Structure 1
Amino acid sequence: MPTQSQDSLRLFYALWPDAGTRTDLMQLQYPLHGRKSPYENLHITLAFLGPQPSALLPVLKDILTQLPAAAMTLTIDRVGYFNRNRIAWAGMHAVPERLLGLQRDLVQTLTQHEIAFDNETRFKPHITLARDATLPPDILFTPITWRANQAALVQSVTGPDGPRYEVLAMRSLDEVLWSQDERGPNSAIDSAA
């Protein structure tokens, strides 16, 4: 297994849940057996970049700001299991086109910038609930409504207790107004400002 040098960071882009959604997702973990994902680690990965040079951070943060305003409502209504990796997860029966489009836009931008990322597997949006898990029981639950409006560039730091995720940059996916002020024509001002 390759080691991470001090001048490289293990990175990914993700949809980052709000506190209420995280709390609702934690409720799904109770009947699961395995290493449960910590509250602060719950997310949907949009693109896994793996080890990247730390010098690339400004470009990666800029790519985050270029994502389209694509806030959406996700209905988390199922629990599933990846046999090969022994991962219990939460996800959607019907994945919104807006989520698929956001992920495609991100992948296209990464490709244009010639930034390596994991493109070997088909995008399967999910929230990892537990690793080294056994097949979860049938769980009946009220679907979780998540207003997904935060995207993040995240660093994965592996420690003795498993991965810990640190948000390096975050942006709102809500609609924005564009302003041509002293910061230039590409400066975004949040419409809530």
Structure 2
Amino acid sequence: MAEAAADAGRAPNLRLFFALWPDAATRAGLHARARALHSECGGRAMRRDTIHLTLAFLGETPVRQVERLRAVAAGVQGEGFALDLDRVGSWHRNRILWTGPSMVPPALAALAQDLEGRLRADGCALEARAFSPHVTLVRNAHAAPREAQLAPLRWTVGSFVLVASELSAAGAHYRTIGRWPLKRRG
């Protein structure tokens, strides 16, 4: 009974992260790559509507902090860029297959660093590991992919988003709760 009263008194939380969200054409190309990797290595290909590149994972966050996070994001200075996804790889420990760039564009590194710095200055607890830009394509893979030269999949990035991950029996559903444009290169 006391446990239920304590739960009722807690503010509701959202599972949040900042990300790059692909446009429809890029998402289709990434999903095709996910299906090919799934055919080769097994596991569970990511659904087309969930494919993204995480910039900063916040985890369980009180709803009351969303407006503050929007203000932090609005202060981020960034420039749009092209991201060439020309590698695939795997993390054996958690059986993830991913795609990423062999060369990280300076504008992506600067965006991630600016966002992380502002979030930390605002008191957000972030993971200590270094930023490693990748797009998860397959979970629970049975094998690592063969090494092969990939034709780059070019993603023109013009904004970043704040996303809420909502879990259900059908899996994760992502809801965009804020979007911020990046300056056009010129």
Deviations 1:38-59 (A, max 9, x none): 1111111000000011000101
Aligned to 1:180: none
Task: Spell out the pairing of 1:19-38 with structure 2 (5 A cutoff).
Answer: 19-31=24-36, 32=38, 33-38=42-47
Task: Decide which structure has greater strand share.
Answer: 1
| 3-state SS of 1:123 partner | coil
Match of 2:162 in 1: 153
Aligned mate of 1:89, from 91, 94, 98:
98
Give the TM-score normalised by the residue count of structure 1.
0.83
TM-score scaled to structure 2, two decimals?
Answer: 0.86
**1:5-154 maps to which residues of 2 (within 5 A)?**
7-31=12-36, 32=38, 33-118=42-127, 120-134=128-142, 135-154=144-163
Runs of 4+ deviating beyond 6 Å: none
For 1:141 and 1:103, the matched residues in 2 are separated by 25
- How many equivalent residue pairs? 172
What are the ranges of 5 or more consecutive residues in structure 1 without an aligned counterpart?
177-193
How many percent identity over aligned positions? 35
Residue range with higher mean Cα deviation, 5-14 or 71-80: 5-14
Unaligned 5+ residue runs, structure 2?
Answer: 1-9
* Bigger helix share: 2
AA in 2 matched with 1:22: R
Q: Secondary structure at 2:67's aligned position in 1? A: helix
1:30 is paired with a residue whose SS is helix
| Amino acid aligned to 1:112 | A
- Report if aligned partners of 1:17, 1:150 keep a CA contact under 8 Å in 2: no
Contact preservation (8 Å) 2:34, 2:138: yes
